[in-house]
Amino acid sequence: MFRLDRKVAIVTGGASGIGKAIAKLFAQQGAVVYILDLDNGNTSPEEDVVNGSAYFVKCNVSKQSEVMDAVTEIYGAYGRIDILINNAGIAHIGTAETTSEEDFDRLMSVNVKGVYNCLHAVIPYLREHGGSIVNMASVAALVGLPDRFAYSTTKGAVISMTLSVAKDFLEYKIRCNSISPGRVHTPFVDGYLAKNYPGKEAEMFEKLSKTQPIGRMARPEEIAQLALYLCSEEASFITGCDYPIDGGFVKLNT
């Protein structure tokens, strides 16, 4: 079950964190994976996978020309694209009052335009024989989080784009869903704590972990397992849905 043999998958932001976990799992399940990212994370994806292949392509998803070139290259190599994981994104802390125009534009460029750019480039190839798209949203789009104005705005847009794409391309057998994680223990979290709470990292990590009713942060691999299911044949009846994977945060904290 949940095999992706002979599937060609694109994972944006796949060099670290959730994206890397998705790339590794998809390759292990038989897919040929292309990681689109600005940085390879100082690791070789090929070293982390078995029974599959993963390749790194340097690409800024906020630049449509770079995305188009990367997607054209991938299609040229394999003659097909089956899966798109729109995972690349950046975070920001601030309210509508404290968020600068520069920061707002930066988040919109990556988190919203970046998703659009990849959809725009990949969908023409998915139309040939169908496929699956998973967009990474966030619980920030579903509940009010303090100091996450711009980030929440962009993730709300991601869910709306998911519904639109799912509706528009039903006849082409293109399925489009989104995932809304709660807090996930990634290198970003560790960097955030080191920068903002030096000397108190462990204390703050425990505090943040317990904001999930289940009592801990998710592991990137747990998010990857959900993405794998949504892209597999076993999920062939699922489209136009958003899936919170949040340790009970949305339903049990409100």
If we measure between CA atoms, which residue out of 215, 155, 156 comes closest to residue 183? Answer: 215
SS3 (DSSP) at 167? helix
Element (H, E) at 175: strand 174-181
Q: Has 151 been annotated as catalytic?
A: yes
Question: Is the dihedral angle over the CA atoms 69, 123, 119, 241 positive or is it negative?
Answer: negative
In the DSSP assignment, the letter for residue 218 is: B
From 55, 151, 172, 229, the catalytic residue:
151
Residue type, 231: C
Closest CA to 152 of 162, 161, 142: 142
190 vs 27, 187, 206, CA distance in Å? 26, 5, 12
Active site residues: 151
